[in-house]
Structures are given as C-alpha cells and as structure tokens.
Amino acid sequence: MERITSLTNAKVKFWTSLKDKKSRDEHGLFIAEERHLIEEACEAGLLETLLIKDGEKPYAACPDTYEVSEQILKKVSGTVSANRQIGIVRKPAQNAARERVLLLDEVQDPGNVGTLIRTAKAFGFDSVILSEGCADPYSHKAIRSTQGAVFSMNVIYADLKETIRSLRKNGIPVYGTSLKNAVSLEKIKPAEKAAILLGNEGKGVKPELLDLCDQRIVIPMDGFESLNVAVAGGILAYYFRKA
C-alpha cells in the first residue's frame, strides 16, 4: 500500500478537485465519506480508490488504496468533521429502463435532490431525470441524503421538454405537479408506468413544462397549501408505487 503525506502530491490535488462539480463531471467520479456509503460503493463495484488514515483497517477491499495523513483526509473531505477514510467512487453506468421516472425541474437544494433519489429507489422507480439548474446529485450533501440509492439509480441530466415528449411517445403518462388547474391526486388511477414532474422549491414547475404533461395533479391539502418538494415527491412516489 502506497503512503502519501505531502499535501502537494498530484494525487491529493486530483482527489481534492472532486469537491467541485466541474471535476466530478469531467472525470465521472465523486467522493463518498460515510462508512456505509464506501461499503455500498465497493459492493456495487464502483469504488475506484480508498484513502485511509495511517494504521486504519480499510472499510472495504479496494486494490487502489492509499495510506494518508490526517491533513490529507481533511483537505480531500467536504465536511468539517474529519473522516478516517474517504472513497473515490465512479458514477454508476446508466441502464435503458425509463418506465418509472421522477423529473426534477430546477430542484436546487442538494438535500432535496438526494432525498428524492432515495425515495425513488424505495418505491421502485428506475430513473431520476434532472434539468439544468438542479443541485448536483454527486455533491457531498446530496450523496449523503441518497443513503446509497445513487449507486443503483439512473440519475441523468436531460432537457425536460424533450424528455417529456419522448416519454409520452413511449406511452408513459407524465404528471406535472401544480397547485393551479390541477386534478386531485385521489382522482388519478395509479399506473405502474408513470413519470412525475416536480419543481423548484420556490417557483414550482415551469408553466411551459406543465403544458406538455398529460395531466396536472395536486396533492389534496387542508388549508395550508405548502409542502416541501421531497415530501410531495414521497407522497406521489408512494401513490404510484410498484404493486
């Protein structure tokens, strides 16, 4: 096992660069810090590199493992509290299934994006499709919020107009969430194939996207018409859960 102690080592610089979305996108890699995330990345065959503190027992078997100093772990880490091990993880390959889909229009909080990926996984959805302007699903906060669901979910950036048209052409009904001109969720017959479109925390779904949907739907509420987008997504994904 190689040992690295210099903060200016080229590998350390490269790992540290993965705190930025640009580098994550360019290299198809991201950082996992929680133990269970490192273990799950390894099980999914996605753990590229493991950094461990001098003398630690590695969380997972990884051929490319480095012993590093505490200063290096702190530098590579995205968190304030120092982790004892850090995994460099490959973004999962995408499969072709697109029958049960969440579409996110500019959901900007990384916790919400991560939680929606976790929820999609819990209710048997195969894909989460993000517009430009969504929070990066591979940031530390988003990854932590997915609780590992990101390792086995299609998470794709795409143009939502094109995606909605293509889904509908393939016989997948697209439901857009909206407080106005919308049918109550209870009136909708849950289908196994479905796409649910959720919007920005402040502004909701863009009208031009709602216009392309099969139906606008609203979750019936009691006077206070306000739900967090991840909670709304949870209620809808549960409603359309796989039988």
From the list 94, 187, 79, 188, the residue with the least C-alpha distance to 143 is 79
Say whether residue 241 binds a copy of itself (CB under 8 A): yes
Min dist CB 230 to a copy of itself, Å, is: 6
Say whether residue 55 binds a copy of itself (CB under 8 A): no
| DSSP code of residue 77 | -
The span from the CA of 20 to the CA of 144, in Å, is 16
Query: Residues 165-204: x/- map of binding to a copy of itself (CB under 8 A)?
Result: ----------------------------------------
Say whether residue 230 binds a copy of itself (CB under 8 A): yes
For 200-215, the DSSP string reads BTTTBS-HHHHTTSSE
Say whether residue 108 binds a copy of itself (CB under 8 A): no
Distance of CA 121 to the CA centre of its chain: 10
> How many Å from the N-terminal Cα to the C-terminal Cα in the chain?
48
Say whether residue 221 binds a copy of itself (CB under 8 A): yes
* Residue 121, CA atoms < 13 Å, CB-side half-sphere: 17
Say whether residue 89 binds a copy of itself (CB under 8 A): no
Say whether residue 147 binds a copy of itself (CB under 8 A): yes
Say whether residue 238 binds a copy of itself (CB under 8 A): yes
Stretch that binds a copy of itself, among 8-16, 85-93, 112-120, 204-212 (CB under 8 A): 112-120
Determine the size of the site formed for a copy of itself (CB under 8 A). Answer: 31
> In which element (H, E) is residue 76 found?
helix 70-76
Stretch that binds a copy of itself, among 69-77, 145-153, 154-162, 168-176 (CB under 8 A): 145-153
Stretch that binds a copy of itself, among 80-88, 156-164, 170-178, 213-221 (CB under 8 A): 213-221
The three-state secondary structure class of 177 is strand
Q: Are residues 58 and 165 in contact, defined by beta-carbon separation less than 8 angstroms?
A: no
Say whether residue 227 binds a copy of itself (CB under 8 A): yes
| Torsion angles phi and psi, residue 67, rounded to 5 | -90, 130
The span from the CA of 157 to the CA of 136, in Å, is 10
Contact residues for a copy of itself, defined by CB under 8 A: 111, 115, 118-119, 121-124, 145, 147-149, 219-228, 230-235, 238, 241-242
